[in-house]
Structure 1
Amino acid sequence: MADPHELTALEQWQALQNREISPSELTEHYLARIEKFNPALGAFVTVTTHAARARARYVEERMPRTAPLWGLPFADKDLYLRAGVPVGFGSRLFEGFVPDESDDLVQALDDAGGVSLGKTNTPEFGLASYTESLAAPPARTPWNLALGAGGSSGGAAVAVAARLLPFAPGSDGGGSIRIPAAACGLVGLKPGRGRVPSASGIDKLGGLAVGGPLARTVADAALLLDAMIAPRDGHPDHHYALRAPGDETPLLAAAVRGEGRFQLGVMTTSAWDDAYDITIAPEAQAALDLAVAGFAALQHGLEETALKPDPSYVPAFRALWQAGAATIPADTDAQIALLEPLTQWLLARGRALSARDLAEALAALTAFERSFIRQLSKFDAVLTPAMALTPRPVGWYDADDAEANFAQQVQYTPFTSMINVSGLPAIVLPVHQTENGLPMGVQLIGRPGGEATLLALGAQLERRIRWQDRVPPEPA
């Protein structure tokens, strides 16, 4: 058998099922890679070596092999609580905090038979689209260590791209799965609102943040997503799911088969265009052109489309993002001083909003959601660039001027947040590699409940381009 990390997650699962390797052996393999390579990459902020070994033994001895992720390693993003493991939320404010209970998504992945190896790096409270906090070293894309991994699931993306994990869960409130997937050459899937019961978005302000997978292949992403969706013992009714899981074919089937012909829109406009200077870099355009040519060769229908300008979007989204920071538990001057300048700005602006301001912002974004879905309804999926620019250098974002920082984030990633507002599913596919070896991706936006279509389209393009064969250099 090849070194386990050279196999896809699905192939590793099959090796576990065939007793070619045990959960303990697979866990030890990845722990050794983490110890060797993580210092240069900044993927993990906590490695739970002893707990991972104990968990692997428990899975071997106590859990049925039918569990969806039986024996496969993963790691928790450091925004999620795992009982007994420090959680920092990417912030100095929570240094040393150890929770007594685990979040629902953590429990769901445990129920699925996974083995957590620790906590992956994230920016402060997941608020930024890059992972360079004051609480931990920056997360760097393994394709070029001078460049950032994106955020906020930056550590998770680095771990998967550098083969420190087979796959990893992330969360996405404005692009936080898709941005690091694009920067690290991965498949990143943001499910539709309500699809994942334990990280549905329904209980979040504006319904923005949902949980989803980061993986090297489309099938691996589907494997993890199916496990995130799977019914849990004691939670058969899925109060936080809009569509009850289990009443349709597993998404892995769509990803493996990769069947169907679809009508695709091609779009380079975004909801930010009228308020910010958005420029699509040649490398981003090249990725889009490559995807368009690939889908055309696969005989899908393709038609250019554009969004109608909506001046209400930008102020409403900014208000909602600021309001989301208002509940950060920093009330004294000393606590606020521990926060980073961007977080302090968001918190202050959020706490200054009135109830009327927030209500009007939510109403505007609800109207945008309906308009956005209506405008794209003629297509099975809509293709956009993943990012407007190449992966950004570490230290590129303005650390002191919050307005300038926010503008930089918009200019890098103008195509993601509108998908969170609309509640639609979207997938990033790493279709292109630049002359200097950087990954560049495209985004496919699906219809409501359209994850299977996105996975089928992604599988078809993956078979044609074979991005899974690209391997980043190992850090020296």
Structure 2
Amino acid sequence: MSEIHDLTAVRQAALFRSRELSPVEVTDHYLDRIERLGDAVGAFVTVTPELARRQARDAERRLLSEEPERLPPLLGLCVPVKDLDMVAGVRCTLGSAVFADRVADADEGYVVELRRAGAVLPGKTNTPEFGLSCHTENEVAPPARTPWDTACSAGGSSGGAAAAVAAGLAPLAQGSDGGGSIRIPAAACGLYGIKPTRGRVTTAPLRTDLFGLSVTGPLARTVADAALLLDAITLGDAGDPYPAPPLPRGETFLAHAGRPPARLRLACFASPPLPGVQVHPDVLAAYRDTALLLEKLGHDVTEIEPPFDGSHMRHFATVWAATAAAVPVPAADEHRLQPLTRWLRERGRATPAPDYLEAAAQLRRFARLALTVFAPYDAVLTPTLAVPPVPLGHFTAAADPAEEFARMNAFTPFGNIANITGQPAATLPLHTTADGLPVGVMLTGRIGGEATLLSLSAQLEEARPWLDRRPEIWHR
């Protein structure tokens, strides 16, 4: 008989509704796995068993007393929340020792939607300090490791979320992505992860991102599971600065994930948009194999020359540093921050307002150019990362924070393009190295085009299934 964690989220939801599976039993199962295995992969900062069990009992009562068609979509499903975001009454550290004892007094807007959708919240997943790095090594939790090789990093900044799902500690998870932070750890952990269109999920009521780099989205084992979660958290707010184009009335992302796409025009490139970066042979092989698979599936695939000279990275770094500097930290605690955080904050505070505005304007110009080049195509295929998962400590072993930041850029040169343009982008776990480490490939869609991305992703998933590919820790 299959273990509970072998079941997809969509399957669990169906079994809840048919009363063949108990949310209480499932929640206890995941809490047990988190207790036994969570630290081994650095998945959680805070576990909330009392909250989760109370929500599971409430879900079970509803399942026994309400008509199935009236039940919310995530009822009884365990969905951990990244520790950058607030869940009322639960510790929110931002991945920083400075805030190790802070408790949130409100929910993020999408957390309100998770509660409304019936989700069970088992805890807060691990993240680097303030979500600033592409690895998850901080001073509040064990480092996040890919379950495929715990000597290697799970990536970041949604590293704990990816480690949790890949190790079977949750059926799916929420993540956020300001420069690749859903797609990087999903690729390192062999998962499907999708960064939605800018504005698809509200940042209300508490978080402000003037440029709109960061968005909330799902990490999951299957495309359908990701679509299920995206449907539940999709919500605009009247005050959002970047409203996303809505789906037509009555349509859902989950329905599109079960519907094959029409013949699509696809572009592809593997030239890193950062001069001097080399793409690993295993990554190139995965990219080329995916391009051939897309052609076999009937799509038109054209290799293009990307219009990038790398200058956007400099401007992105300016905006990123300003974002780091904007986090309120008591002056007396500044020295407790990690070296990369302090370095970025110093750069941010030293940037005059005109220089910040010029960097933002240059990123807008870059976005216009990129969107113009991508306009003829329904989606663009690239590698997700330049190399397979790297050993834990690869980034922090750098001589100084500037070198650490350079190593981060070289690891994920493709990641921040979609954050700058606002496009949706998904990473697919179609490939592995000879040693069995995951290698992701990325599809970037049109603004508002998540439905097409999910449909195309599901077609690739059907052609090259990955669900039964699991790390050894899965079976413990």
Could you state the TM-score of these two structures normalised by the residue count of structure 1?
Answer: 0.94
Q: Do the aligned residues in 1 keep the contact of 2:110 with 2:235 (CA within 8 Å)?
A: no
* Pairs within 5 Å for 1:261-410: 261-273=263-275, 277-310=276-309, 312-332=311-331, 334-399=332-397, 401-410=400-409
Alpha-carbon distance in structure 1 between the residues aligned to 2:85 and 2:42: 18
Structure 1 residues 402-436: Cα deviation after superposition (integer angstroms, max 9, x where no partner): 11001101111000111100000000000101111
Alpha-carbon distance in structure 1 between the residues aligned to 2:383 and 2:61: 46
* Pairs within 5 Å for 1:138-149: 138-149=143-154
Matched, 1:23 2:23: yes
**Residue matched to 1:154:** 159
Identify if the C-alpha distance between structure 1 residues 150 and 354 changes in structure 2 by more than 3 Å, giving closer, same or farther. Answer: same
Identify if the C-alpha distance between structure 1 residues 237 and 200 changes in structure 2 by more than 3 Å, giving closer, same or farther. Answer: closer
Structure 1 residues 198-243: Cα deviation after superposition (integer angstroms, max 9, x where no partner): 5799941311000000001111110110111168xxx799886333
Structure 1 residues 346-393: Cα deviation after superposition (integer angstroms, max 9, x where no partner): 000000111101110111011111111001111110000011001010
**Residue matched to 2:87:** 82
Identify if the C-alpha distance between structure 1 residues 385 and 2 changes in structure 2 by more than 3 Å, giving closer, same or farther. Answer: same
Identify if the C-alpha distance between structure 1 residues 239 and 344 changes in structure 2 by more than 3 Å, giving closer, same or farther. Answer: closer
Structure 2: gaps (5+ residues): none
Q: Do the aligned residues in 2 keep the contact of 1:260 with 1:456 (CA within 8 Å)?
A: no
Q: Do the aligned residues in 2 keep the contact of 1:108 with 1:198 (CA within 8 Å)?
A: no
Structure 1: gaps (5+ residues): none
Identify if the C-alpha distance between structure 1 residues 46 and 246 changes in structure 2 by more than 3 Å, giving closer, same or farther. Answer: farther
* Pairs within 5 Å for 1:74-473: 74-198=79-203, 203-229=208-234, 241-244=243-246, 247=249, 249-273=251-275, 277-310=276-309, 312-332=311-331, 334-399=332-397, 401-473=400-472
Q: Do the aligned residues in 2 keep the contact of 1:112 with 1:227 (CA within 8 Å)?
A: yes
Alpha-carbon distance in structure 2 between the residues aligned to 1:452 and 1:322: 33
1:101, distance to aligned residue in structure 2 (A):
1.2
DSSP-derived class of the 2:459 partner: helix
Alpha-carbon distance in structure 1 between the residues aligned to 2:248 and 2:376: 28
Aligned residues: 469
For 2:344, give the aligned amino acid: L
Q: Do the aligned residues in 2 keep the contact of 1:222 with 1:255 (CA within 8 Å)?
A: yes
Alpha-carbon distance in structure 1 between the residues aligned to 2:61 and 2:408: 47
Alpha-carbon distance in structure 1 between the residues aligned to 2:330 and 2:380: 43
Identify if the C-alpha distance between structure 1 residues 196 and 114 changes in structure 2 by more than 3 Å, giving closer, same or farther. Answer: same
For 2:244, give the aligned amino acid: L
Structure 1 residues 444-474: Cα deviation after superposition (integer angstroms, max 9, x where no partner): 0101111111111111111111111101111
DSSP-derived class of the 1:205 partner: coil
1:319, distance to aligned residue in structure 2 (A):
0.5
Matched, 1:56 2:56: yes
1:62, distance to aligned residue in structure 2 (A):
4.8
Q: Do the aligned residues in 2 keep the contact of 1:193 with 1:201 (CA within 8 Å)?
A: no
Identify if the C-alpha distance between structure 1 residues 394 and 466 changes in structure 2 by more than 3 Å, giving closer, same or farther. Answer: same
RMSD: 2.0
For 1:329, give the aligned amino acid: P
Identity in percent: 48
Q: Do the aligned residues in 2 keep the contact of 1:198 with 1:240 (CA within 8 Å)?
A: no
For 1:38, give the aligned amino acid: G
DSSP-derived class of the 1:97 partner: coil
For 1:393, give the aligned amino acid: P
Alpha-carbon distance in structure 1 between the residues aligned to 2:205 and 2:372: 22
Alpha-carbon distance in structure 2 between the residues aligned to 1:94 and 1:198: 21
DSSP-derived class of the 1:474 partner: helix
1:331, distance to aligned residue in structure 2 (A):
4.2
DSSP-derived class of the 1:102 partner: coil
